[in-house]
Amino acid sequence: MDRTDCTAAGGLPHTQGELERGLKDRHIQLIALGGAIGVGLFLGSAKAIHKAGPLLLVSYAIAGLAIFFIMRALGELLVHRPVAGSFATYAETYVSPWAGFVTGWTYWFTWVVTGMAELTAIGIYAHYWFPAIPQWVPALATLAVLLGVNLIAVKVFGELEFWFALIKVVTIVATLVLGVAIIMTGWGPLGQTASFSNLWSHGGFAPMGMVGVVFTLQIACFAYTGVELIGVTAGEAEAPEKVLPRATNSIVYRILIFYVGALIVIMSLVPWNELSPDMSPFVHVFEKLGVPAAAGIINFVVITAAASSCNSGIFSTGRMLYTLAQFKQAPARLGRVNSRHVPAAGIVLSAAFMLVGVVLNYLVPEEAFIYVTSIATIGAVWTWGIIVYAHLRYRRAVRQGQAAAVSYRMPGAPFTNWFVLAFLLVVLGCLALDASTRIALYVAPIWFGLLTVGYRMYAARTASGPHLARQKQRLA
């Protein structure tokens, strides 16, 4: 029997029909792009510029290359098997049941923590207009609104996310066009000093040395967190065999243009050493242009960007809990959908955990952002590593005649798989070098230790009784 046809230990039980395939091609494209373009670019890049200067571009480029291969590996697996909660399914099928359990819960944890980061960013951005309001108030209000949106229907979520993402994409494109025009014509208050030479005229292209790359790889990786979101949408995508490869191909180069291109223009308009690490560089640039209304508009856009990414996080966590429940690795209630075909219980539970982010904004508002981004990076590194490793095992299964090959393939495998895995190990090492990000390495062993205990309890419970009988019946 083909191992990929297993519906128990080797794959997801066939109850996917409960989810509605209501996401169109344009929804999938913008959901993946919107999930990745958020706080990492609009806020995280400010701190990264401060740590590395223009050399930050190298960090984003290297991370972007690794993301390209990760997405191509994921795209091949998605074409092979387009199911919701794909990472857990592929890990379960091609690595081990333990890996499937850990991956599902870790991805859930990653997006819960990422949601906390986005809520933190919203609290920070709101200070631009309302400096007297505590940081946790806008964070809580945003969470309540996004929870309501996600409980309506997947089509409503997809439509809202489409427009959320479109707003920030249009804004970045406008920044690129306006910035290049200023640099080339010398127009406006920044025209006299704006130049591409600003990238190397203020302490050189690498003012902090190569150590700048080391200290910003983590920030660059966190910035790209969310590109893999199309794997979660697979179970609700119309015509997944056509939509998913197209989305995978387009996402990578668009993000590289938006991230690397936008940062080149921003650091050419305003020298890197004049940008504040505590303010969005987009807001800073438009303030320098002397147009207060424009800076306010950009601030609104970056709030929208953060809300968009958090919105995607609530969506993905609900679907991952749904998948885990199908595997009997989470309470059965989380595997049900309401009358609108939405896994409401999982969505509400995930939003409840995101309230921890609101608490962090109340207790440690200054440290909240770096804490949660560092921890989220650990989860992203694990998920990406599992995708690439599961792809390795899938290719081996194809060679052995145990799985069907597809026409959409990851280039350079298996060498590119090992390149990505080595890169991810380097990122983990970079976390250890900075005291502000080292907390992630303290949290990670505790998290994976708890998951291992949880898996042993799950395995002991399912090793006998009616569940085992159902597994054997499905495998027969």
pLDDT at position 263:
93
pLDDT at position 279:
80
In a domain, 473, yes or no: no
Percent of the residues in the chain that have a pLDDT greater than 70, as a whole number? 84
Query: With bands split at pLDDT 50, 70 and 90, how would you rate the model's confidence at 372?
Result: low
Read off the pTM.
Answer: 0.84
In a domain, 1, yes or no: no
pLDDT at position 38:
65
Residues 6 or more apart whose Cβ sits within 8 Å of residue 245 = 75, 78, 79, 408
| Contact by Cβ (8 Å): 98, 455 | yes
How far, in Å, CA of 110 to CA of 80, rounded? 25
23 forms beta bridges with 237
User: pLDDT tens digits for 286-324?
Assistant: 888 877 777 788 788 888 888 888 888 898 888 889 888
In a domain, 470, yes or no: no
How far, in Å, CA of 322 to CA of 336, rounded? 7
In a domain, 9, yes or no: no
DSSP letter at 27? H
pLDDT at position 10:
37
Residues 6 or more apart whose Cβ sits within 8 Å of residue 265 = 175, 176, 179, 180, 183
Residues 6 or more apart whose Cβ sits within 8 Å of residue 321 = 108, 330, 334, 335, 343, 345, 346, 349, 350
Q: How is the chain split among helix, strand and coil, in percent rounded to 5?
A: 75, 0, 25
In a domain, 204, yes or no: yes
In a domain, 439, yes or no: yes
Q: Give the CATH number, domain containing residue 427.
A: 1.20.1740.10
Summarize the confidence of residues 378-388 as an average pLDDT: 91
Structural domain count, the chain? 1
Task: Indicate the range of 127-131, 338-342, 359-363, 447-451 predicted with least confidence.
Answer: 359-363
In a domain, 446, yes or no: yes
Q: In 77-90, which positions are buried (b, 16+ CB within 10 angstroms) versus exposed (e)?
A: bbbbbbbbbbbbbb
Looking at the predicted structure, is the pLDDT value of residue 235 above 70? no
pLDDT at position 13:
42
Query: With bands split at pLDDT 50, 70 and 90, how would you rate the model's confidence at 39?
Result: low
In a domain, 469, yes or no: no
Average confidence score pLDDT of the chain = 81
Residues spanned by the domain of 331? 17-401+412-458
